[in-house]
DNA sequence: CGTCTATTTGAATGTACTCAAAAGCGGTGG
DNA sequence: CCACCGCTTTTGAGTACATTCAAATAGACG
C-alpha cells in the first residue's frame, strides 16, 4: 500500500544506487508526506530551512528578493525533483531565499534530524546525495554561463526547450525573473518570435 | 617530511571531519603532486577531466568558450581551493569547459581511480566531499542571483571585496569574462570609481 | 458581469557593447 | 640604456539590447 506511493520516488533514487528492501523501508519510513496548497510560502528569508523535499506532484520555486523588492527565481522544481536550500538546511544557517508553491503540491520531506539519521544509518546515501548535489551544481554552472553569454531571446528559447511544460504552468513574469529579464521584455520576445 | 607538505591541506579537510592518523596517511598516499607552469591548459572542451586537484600554490581558472570564441570564466581557484569539472570527472563525460593555469601552480591531484578508491575505503570522505560540493553549489547559486539582479558596477565591487588579491594577480579581461562584462566596460567602471 | 491579476504595447531612457585607434607597460635584444 | 615588440588597458563615437513608466488590453474567477 504505502510501498506503492513511494514507487516513482524509489525509482528515482535507484538511478544512483541499488537498495535492499530493508534500506528502501528505512528510507521511506524517514519521510513525511505533505500536501500543500498553492501559493504557500515554505521558507522565508532569514528562517532556517527545515525540510528537504521530493516533489511527488505540483510545482515550487526558490527565489531571492533583493533590496528593492525585486525577485530573482533561482529555480523551479516540479515532479521528481528535490527542493531545499542546501546551505540553510545542512549548515543550519538563516536562508537568503524564499521557497513557495506555485500549484497544489505533494511532497515527501526530510527534516534535518531524519535526514541525518538516514545518512548515518546507511552511509551509502551520502553518495546518493553527493551525486544529486553534483548534478545540481553542474546544472547551475551551465545556467550561469548561459546567463552571462547569451541574449535574452536565446535564454528564453533554451528555457522553453528545456522545460516545455513550465510556460503553461506558471505565470510569465516568474519565467522572466528566472531568466533575468523584465516581464515587459519577455512579452516583446514572444511577440517577435511569433511573427517569424 | 612528506607529512609537512600536506599540512595546510589536511587542515582544510579537518574543517569537515576528524581524521585518524591512518586515514590521513591513506588520504595523502592517494594524492599525486604536480608542478605546472603558467598558461598550461589542464583540460580542453570535449576531453574527460582526469583530475580533481587541491591547489597548494598558484592560480587556475575554469572557462567556457562559446560558438563565437567568446570566453566566460566560470571560476578562479587559488591556494586552498579544489578544482575540477565535477560533471566530467565523476560522470566520465566530455567536458564543456577548459581549465588553465594563470600562474605557476602546485597541486595535489586525484585521478578518478584514486578518488574512487579513497571514497570506498573511507566512506567518511563521501560526506566530506558532499559538503564541499554543497558549499560550491551554494556559492554558484549566490553568484547567479548577483549576475541576474545587479549592475556591472555592483558586481565588480562585490568581486574585489570577495577576492581583493585577484585583480593584482590576473589580467583585467579575465575578470571581465568572470563578471560577464566586456573588457572595455571594466575599464570604464574602474575609471568612474576612481574619479569619485 | 465586474474585479483583480497578468500581459501587451508605446515612448523615452539607460546600460553596456562593438569597433577602431591610441596609450601604457613589460620584457628582450641590440 | 634605449628601442622595439607584443600584449593589455584606455578612450571615443556610434549602436544595440533591454529597462522603466504608464496606459491599454486580455484573462480568470467568483
Instruction: Say which nucleotide is closest to residue A181, CA to C1' distance.
Output: D18
Q: How confident is the model at residue B1 (pLDDT cuts 50, 70, 90)?
A: very low
pLDDT tens digit sequence for A35-89: 999 999 999 999 999 999 999 999 999 999 988 889 999 999 999 999 999 999 9
Spacing of A196 CA from C6 C1' in Å: 24
User: Cell 528545456 identifies what position?
Assistant: A162
Quick one: average pLDDT of A186-190?
A: 97
Q: Do A90 and B136 touch (CB under 8 A)?
A: no
Contact list in A for residue B134 (CB cut-off 8 A) is: 86-87, 90, 133
The grid coordinates of residue A77 equal 522544481
Residue B78 near residue B132, CB atoms below 8 Å:
no
CB pair distance less than 8 Å for B148 and A180:
yes
Question: What pLDDT sits at residue B196?
Answer: 63
Burial class (CB in 10 A: 0-12, 13-18, 19+), B167: middle
What nucleotides of chain C have any atom within 7 angstroms of a protein Cβ? 6-11, 15-20
CA-to-CA distance for B60 and B46, rounded, in angstroms? Answer: 19
Which nucleotide is at minimal CA–C1' distance from B182?
Answer: C17
Cβ of A142 near strand C (under 7 Å)? The reply is: no
What is the rounded CA–CA span in Å between residue B49 and residue A18? 26
Q: Which of A66, A126, A145 sits opposite B74 (nearest CB)?
A: A145
Q: Is the Cβ pair B90, A131 closer than 8 Å?
A: yes
In this predicted structure, what is the pLDDT of residue A93? 97
Residue B69 vs residue A183, higher pLDDT = A183
8 Å CB contact of A137 and B136 = yes
Instruction: Give CA angle at B194 (B167, B157), nearest 5°.
Output: 50
Which nucleotides of strand D lie within 7 A of protein CB?
A: 8-13, 17-22
Q: Hey, are the CB atoms on B180 and A119 less than 8 Å from each other? A: no
Q: Are the beta carbons of A95 and A87 closer than 8 angstroms?
A: yes
- Is A147's pLDDT higher than 50? yes
Q: How far is CA B190 from CA A85, B75, B143, B154, B173, in A?
A: 35, 21, 21, 12, 13
Tell me, what's the pLDDT at A175? 98
Nearest chain B residue to A132 by CA distance is B130
pTM for this prediction: 0.94
In the structure, what pLDDT confidence band is assigned to residue B4 with cuts at 50, 70 and 90?
low
Nearest DNA or RNA nucleotide to B170 (CA to C1'): D8
Secondary-structure percent of chain B, ordered helix, strand, coil, rounded to 5: 50, 20, 30
At A4-27, the pLDDT tens digits run 678 888 888 888 899 899 999 998
pLDDT in tens, B77-99: 999 999 999 999 999 999 999 99
Percentage above 90 pLDDT, chain B: 83
User: Residue B105: which of B159, B51, B69, B66 has the closest Cα?
Assistant: B51
Quickly give A35 CA vs D16 C1' distance in Å: 48
Cell of A28: 521511506
pLDDT surpasses 90 at A141:
yes
The average confidence (pLDDT) of chain B is 93
Nearest to A179 by CA among A75, A62, A65, A66: A75
Give A120→chain B minimum CA distance, Å.
Answer: 10
What percent of chain A is modeled with pLDDT above 90?
Answer: 83
Q: What is the pLDDT of residue A2?
A: 58
B173 touches strand C (CB under 7 A): no
Protein-to-nucleotide distance from the CA of A172 to the C1' of D28, whole angstroms? 15
Asked if A129 and B130 come within 8 Å (Cβ–Cβ), the reply is: yes
Per DSSP, A96 falls in state S
> pLDDT value at position A3?
60
Average pLDDT over residues B159-165: 95
pLDDT above 70 covers a percentage of chain A that reads: 97
Q: Tell me the average pLDDT across A97-126.
A: 94
CA-to-CA distance for A87 and A140, rounded, in angstroms?
15
Task: Note whether B56 and B83 are within 8 A (CB).
Answer: no
* Chain A neighbors of B127, CB-CB under 8 A: 119, 126
B64 touches A145 (CB < 8 A) = yes
> What's the confidence (pLDDT) of residue A68?
83
Mean pLDDT of A169-175: 96
* Residue B18 φ/ψ, nearest 5 degrees: -105, 135
Nearest CA in chain A to B70: A149
CA-to-C1' distance for A85 and D25, Å? 39
| B185: CB within 7 A of chain C nucleic strand | yes
Indicate if the pLDDT at residue A1 is higher than 50: no
The candidate with the shortest Cα–Cα distance to A98, out of A47, A36, A33, is A47
Look at residue B2 in the predicted model and tell me its pLDDT: 57
**Cα(A146)–Cα(A150) distance, rounded to whole angstroms?**
5
Q: Which residues of A touch B90 (CB under 8 A)?
A: 131, 134
Half-sphere CA count of B50, side-chain side, radius 13 A: 7
Candidate from A123, A138, A149 with C-beta closest to B66: A149
Amino acid at each position: 500500500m504505502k510501498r506503492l506511493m513511494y514507487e516513482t520516488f524509489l525509482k528515482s533514487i535507484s538511478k544512483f544506487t541499488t537498495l535492499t528492501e530493508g534500506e528502501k523501508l528505512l528510507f521511506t519510513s524517514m519521510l513525511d508526506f505533505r500536501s500543500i496548497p498553492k501559493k504557500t510560502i515554505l521558507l522565508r528569508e532569514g528562517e532556517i530551512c527545515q525540510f528537504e523535499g521530493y516533489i511527488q506532484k505540483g510545482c515550487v520555486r526558490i527565489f531571492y528578493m533583493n533590496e528593492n523588492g525585486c525577485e530573482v527565481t533561482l529555480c523551479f522544481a516540479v515532479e521528481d525533483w528535490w527542493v531545499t536550500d542546501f546551505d540553510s538546511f545542512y549548515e543550519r544557517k538563516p536562508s537568503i531565499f524564499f521557497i513557495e508553491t506555485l500549484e497544489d503540491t505533494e511532497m515527501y520531506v526530510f527534516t534535518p534530524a531524519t535526514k541525518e539519521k538516514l545518512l548515518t544509518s546507511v552511509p551509502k546515501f551520502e553518495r546518493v546525495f553527493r551525486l544529486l548535489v553534483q548534478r545540481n551544481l553542474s546544472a547551475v554552472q551551465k545556467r550561469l554561463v548561459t546567463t552571462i553569454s547569451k541574449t535574452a531571446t536565446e535564454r528564453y528559447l533554451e528555457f522553453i526547450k528545456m522545460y516545455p511544460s513550465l510556460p503553461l504552468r506558471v505565470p510569465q513574469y516568474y519565467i522572466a525573473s528566472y531568466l533575468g529579464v523584465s516581464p515587459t521584455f519577455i512579452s516583446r520576445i514572444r511577440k517577435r518570435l511569433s511573427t517569424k
